[in-house]
Amino acid sequence: MSLTESIRAVVGTTFADELRARSDDELVKLFELRPDLITPIPADISSLAVRATSAPSLIRAIESLNRWQLNLIEACAIFEGSFNVSEVVELTNPAAKKSLEELWALGLLYRDGKKYRTPRAIRDILGENLAGLGPSVAKAIDFKALQTAPSGAIELLEKLTWGPPKGQVDDIHKKGTPIEWLLKNHFLIPVDSRTVLLPREVALHLREGKLFKDLSTSEPELIGSKKSPNEIDRAAVAAITSLLRLISELLNYWAEETPTAIQSGGLGIRDLKKTAEHLGVSEEEAGFLAELSYQIAILTIEPDGRILPNANFDVFLTRSYEAQWRELVETWRDSSRVAGLIGRSDSRNIAALGIELDRPNAPKIRRHILEILEANQGISPKLTELIQVVTWRYPHRKSLNIKEFTESTIREAEWLGVTGAGALSSFARKLLSNEKRIGLDNALPDPVDHILIQGDNTAIAPGPLTVEVARHLSTFADIESRGSATVYRFSENSIRRGLDHGHTGEEIRNFLRDSSKTPIPQPLDYLITDVSRKHGRLRVGYANCYIRCDDESVIAAILKDKKLEHLRLRQIAPQVLIGDAESGDMMEELRESGYFPSGENGQGAVIQIPVSLRAKSRPKPPRLIGDFSTPSKEIMEMALKTLRTGERSSAKGSIGEIPRNSASQTLEILNEYLGKGIALQIGYADTNGAVSLRTIDPISISLGTLVARDHLTNGVTPFKIARITGVAVS
């Protein structure tokens, strides 16, 4: 028997050997469950085994486990060497027999004859104190002595039985105490003068051979309340209608009243609050809408900090409602950004559109929630029940509070129309099933191109408005209420906003006459006339800054206005005041005090804000941290072929037989055999420095690159000459 065989007889089958013994179908199943193993494709089975037992890959695989599977892999990791199925069943549950096969298919276990083993790195990842157990003790323990234990000793052990195994005491050296007796009889292990550990053997004895106090092998049942399909879809249609309208209103509003990103990045609290008030929604929903717009690249943060819609927004509005909604939902489903974190932080506020919203495991948990809702169609679950199911499916703790995230996800799903009345809508079910048509365009009401102006300075939109009408109306009217019909209100501030954005009073009247099926009432006509007459009489410029007005009585009123005393204005002429505030802040203060200023440039001309700004820079949506997607059938077949070919190449020559030449010798041999169809063997180093043996037919050399037919892939492949360690004739 060789030395290698002798060692293997002691340590058992290696993981690489076990992978070599797996069938093609079993390897393909492994690639499906762990796509990171073939991204990129390794050269041979040994490389695959190294990658599969690396910490990053094992962590990803462990995070795919539910609570039962996680408990089971902990039970397996208890064993230092190989173990039988019956040993694991004895510690856990008879269902372990089937589940061990699942863990084996995932590559978290491997077979050693009729037994199983766990890769050593799994114990390091799961941490010490597996299943709440402490370390083993070398000394024999007489468990019969517990029958004569002093008062209080058993109670102390019971507190540590199910973990954690570490406990704090007053003083282990104190005589005549239960602690002294337990230490003397090896039922506890001393760590220091105030800390003790419960040995593994004692815990298992007290647990009566079971590892876990509460072991659930199946997912908790989701009960909830029943909802009819019509009720669900009606609520979803209302939510989707509102969502698409709000996205349009948000970006049109920011095109006119443009916010600026804060210094640390993202949207400031003040701008978020102002936006929420304009849209008539909560700050949480306003932040969510902003995040959605940012992620689908219809919103841009300019280099100067301005947050503006871009040209993609105009393209987005031309698409069908179904196409718009599909893009929003698919982006939300796959996004690693968590809008529910906006405004939440113990140390400082987390801003919308900021860099602190990424959570790598968010897409995985969000998909779990959607899968649970899909499996319980027609049921609106209670939040507490849903959290229990999600926690069972994803028992891991990693940067996200599952309870809070589940709550915010359900709220966002309702805003999106993914759910209606708390249950999954038929539109979302079709989208999740990748159906091409989900029937949303037929379900949503057609847009209307008219409004109905009322006598109380309001206008009613009897349905979703066309893009053009909605954009103009939002410029000089505020939304008062939403529903199947939207109510807009005209006021001094809203009319003034329209004038600020370049519309004249006559243009506003003409638009209202053209778009309204009812005449303009006299009070509204007077309001437009009055605000138009006042607008621009008072002008704010840059002297840092000055105020001038032809009407000296207005200047006198401003000087006497106690609400403006903090501006410290000084009169330098009968019609001119100056102050230290910036012109923009000055205009804001004057408007809040009931005045109607307009800006002017250095030539004295009125500054008119463009009606609708667009970002000039290229959209830069946030980078989403995604997981590895399931590889296609073609890629898995290529990976399988590459691995099998690599194994055959390895069988022909070991690492010690990889050719080694100088750079000049390598080039000389390659040039000699170019295009002759003669197979050569080369040593080739990958990006990590690992050298593998490759068999090639050289074709040409250009710009430091060898182009050759690779026997491993049976395709034409470029090889960097700098990475070739040597060449030999095959």
Is residue 603 over pLDDT 70?
no
Q: Which two tokens stand for residue 668?
A: 């000389």
pLDDT band at 145 (very low <50, low <70, confident <90, very high): confident
> Over the stretch 243-294, which tens digit does the pLDDT of each residue have?
998 999 899 889 888 999 998 889 999 999 999 988 889 999 999 999 999 9
**441-447: long-range pairs with CB below 8 Å, 24+:** 441/320, 441/321, 441/322, 443/233, 443/237, 444/237, 444/240, 444/241, 444/321, 445/241
| Domain map (residue ranges) of the chain | 143-206, 225-443, 452-534, 538-599, 653-729
Report how many helices (DSSP H) and strands (DSSP E) the chain contains, helices first. 30, 25
Q: Helix 24-33 to helix 633-652 angle, to the nearest 10 degrees?
A: 120
pLDDT of residue 655: 43
Q: Is 81 left (phi over 0), alpha (psi -120 to 50) or beta?
A: beta
Q: Give whole-number Cα distances, 35 to 32, 107, 251, 368, 484, in Å.
A: 6, 12, 39, 19, 47
d(CA 647, CA 681): 15
Q: Between the CA atoms of 345, 347, 349 and 352, what dihedral angle is there, to the nearest 10 degrees?
A: -60
pLDDT of residue 5: 35
Is residue 7 over pLDDT 50?
no
pLDDT band at 26 (very low <50, low <70, confident <90, very high): very high
pLDDT band at 12 (very low <50, low <70, confident <90, very high): low
Instruction: Give the highest mean pLDDT range of 169-178, 244-253, 423-432, 708-717.
Output: 423-432
Mean pLDDT in residue range 421-441: 93
pLDDT of residue 649: 62
Which residues lie across from 700 on neighbouring strands? 707
Q: Return the DSSP state at 341.
A: G
Residue type, 260: T
Is residue 328 over pLDDT 90?
yes
Is residue 9 over pLDDT 60?
no
| Angle CA 226–227–228, to nearest 5 | 130
Q: In this structure, are strands 115-117 and 166-168 parallel, antiparallel, or unpaired?
A: unpaired
pLDDT of residue 3: 28
DSSP for 23-43, please give it: -HHHHHHHHHH-GGGGSS--S
How many other CB atoms are there within 10 angstroms of residue 702's CB atom? 8
Length of the chain: 730
> Over the stretch 653-692, which tens digit does the pLDDT of each residue have?
444 467 788 888 888 888 888 878 788 888 888 776 677 7
Is residue 135 over pLDDT 90?
no
Residue type, 378: G
pLDDT of residue 542: 54
Q: Are 403 and 386 in contact (CB under 8 A)?
A: no
**97-101: long-range pairs with CB below 8 Å, 24+:** 99/68, 99/69, 99/72, 99/217, 100/72, 100/76
Q: Which two tokens stand for residue 725?
A: 């360690």
Asked if the 653-729 domain carries CATH number 2.30.30.100, the reply is: yes
Between 604 and 194, the higher pLDDT residue: 194
Residue type, 413: A
Residue type, 473: L
Of 320, 248, 328, 341, residue with least CA distance to 292: 328
Between 92 and 624, the higher pLDDT residue: 92
- % of residues, the chain, pLDDT over 70: 92
Is residue 90 over pLDDT 80?
yes
pLDDT of residue 71: 93
pLDDT band at 651 (very low <50, low <70, confident <90, very high): low
The pTM of this model reads: 0.75
> Over the stretch 29-67, which tens digit does the pLDDT of each residue have?
999 999 999 888 888 888 899 899 999 999 999 999 999
Cβ neighbours of residue 137 closer than 8 Å, sequence gap 6 or more: 186, 189, 199, 200, 201
Which residues lie across from 582 on neighbouring strands? none
pLDDT of residue 142: 86
